[in-house]
Structure 1
Amino acid sequence: MARLIGLIGGMSWESSALYYRLLNQAMQRRLGGHHNAASVMVTLEFEPLLQAGAAGRWDEVADAIAQAGMRLKRAGAEFFLLTANTAHNFASQVQAAVDLPLLHIGTPTVAALQAAGIARAGLIGTRHVTGPGAYRDWYRSQGIELVPPPDDDRAALDAIIADELTQGRIDPRSRQRVLAIVDGMRLAGLQAVVIGCTELPLLLEGAALPLAGYDTTRLHAEAAVALALDEDGGFD
């Protein structure tokens, strides 16, 4: 029997819904029939988290995520995922507080980059992901240097994600803007880009990227299903 996957969602619910679909599709591809991924999700209310972050009360955000992880433990989850890249800025605090293995969103992305021989890649996501901090530091600790876009492009990405994608709005003009940002990375000599936002795949679905794209959301979901089925031998 597959392990029960725990999910901390709501950051935003748009990407949480995408995770649910990707997990179930991945499980059905492996097992066929009417199989799907056994999972339990705690959905956080996003607005209070955004307000706390805007006020610099990041400890409140980390604590809310950790409390959700504890609820997953009580619900019987056997490992858990944070369904947002930005939330991984608090991954170490959350893991320390929750007696349950955390599958970091970067783990399968690092594995895919290393398999392709890539040690330096572009990064697109929210300003809290593309700026200096725990997210990029974690990748650096794994031997991957993530290169953010220029500041004006970072601001544009943040606005597209916060004002459109987390609200369920898909604007073709924003898709072209993101593709232009990625093309700028290609022109700067990068060979790959990490899609470090769990809403961006909703905007980029079906789009031809100017360079190799590593979708953290899809890779995370695929890795979760592999772990649930013990395909990789489980956690060390």
Structure 2
Amino acid sequence: MKKLGLIGGTGPESTVFYYKAVIDGVQRVAGPHTLPELTIESLSVFRVLDHCSRRDFDGLAAYLSDAITRLAGAGADVASLTALTPHIVFDRLRDASPIPLVSAVEATSDAIVNSGATRLALLGTEYTMTEDFFTGPLRAAGLDVVVPDAHDVTWIQDKIATELEYGVVRDDTRDGFVAIIERLRGEGAQQVILGCTELPLILDDDVSPLPCLDPVPIHARALVAAITD
């Protein structure tokens, strides 16, 4: 089995999701007494968001690339990110990486294309919703993607940065997300992509007006395949 390296801390809650999902996935493949070799390089989500807010994508790529190099130095054979927003510079990271990287956006896009949905709502950080690194591949595959309006984008970014990244889950915030999804359903969306890895803390099929597509288990399956093939 190959050793996996993960860039964690972007944010901490989703890093825990990934850690458990990879372990569970490996044990389903290799048996309950098997644990993967895994190293986590924990960075700061707030530094990632700061780079994005200043559109300092060179600085963001350097910050993440240095961490990937450290993972390779720790013996990782394959690496990945435990967040979607940093995928804004994924192509740069892949080009510079000394080891293969597994993209959450590519894994999720493939799953969506195979799901049969034709019009999807996308929630995430401001940068995931307004840049094209996530929506671009979906639209290129012939899918329609709708995102919230500018007011809702600002509201969502604030709730992610000031609540969910700290593991804070509030009922009134959940109600706000539900109202936004309801508006996107009115625009014809058939599913909602939880395009920030902290959103599953507050949204699931039980509360959402639309079925939720969570990239974390999809990406985790791709990571397990990468280290067990």
TM-score between both structures, scaled by the size of structure 2: 0.90
Change (3 A) 1:211 1:217: same
Alignment match, 1:80: 79
**2:213 aligned residue:** 214
Tell me, yes or no, if the aligned pair for 2:120 and 2:144 is still in contact at 8 Å: yes
Answer yes or no: is the 8 Å Cα contact 1:11–1:84 preserved in 2: yes
Which amino acid in structure 2 is aligned with residue 41 of structure 1? Answer: I
Within the alignment, does 1:42 sit opposite 2:45 as a pair? no
Equivalent residue number for residue 90 of structure 1: 89
CA, structure 1 residues 4+146, in 2 after alignment: closer, same or farther (shift >3 Å)? farther
Whether the 8 Å contact between 2:121 and 2:191 is mirrored in structure 1 is yes
> Are residues 179 and 54 of structure 1, via their aligned partners in 2, closer, same or farther at CA, if it must alter by over 3 Å?
same
Q: Evaluate the alpha carbon distance shift between residue 196 and residue 46 of structure 1 in structure 2; reply closer, same or farther with a 3 A threshold.
A: closer
1:198 pairs with 2:197: yes
**RMSD between superposed Cα atoms in Å:** 2.0
Task: Tell me how many residue pairs correspond in the alignment.
Answer: 229
Q: Name the SS of the counterpart of 1:42 in structure 2.
A: strand
The AA in structure 2 aligned to 1:120 is R
Aligned partners of 2:174, 2:180: CA distance in 1, in Å?
10
Identity %: 31
Q: Which amino acid aligns with 1:195?
A: L
Distance 1:32 1:209, change over 3 A: farther
Alignment correspondent of 2:125: 126
TM normalised by structure 1 equals 0.88
Q: Per the alignment, in what secondary structure is the counterpart of residue 211 of structure 1? A: coil
What are structure 1's unaligned runs of at least 5 residues?
231-236
Task: Show the counterpart of 1:112.
Answer: 111
> Could you tell me how far apart the structure 2 residues matched to 1:193 and 1:148 are?
10
- Unpaired runs of 5+ residues, structure 2, are none
Question: 1:200 deviation in Å?
Answer: 0.5
Structure 1 residue 213: Cα displacement: 1.7
Q: Report if the CA contact (8 A) 1:195-1:214 is conserved.
A: yes
Letter in 2 for 1:183: E
Deviation at 1:206, TM superposition (A): 6.7
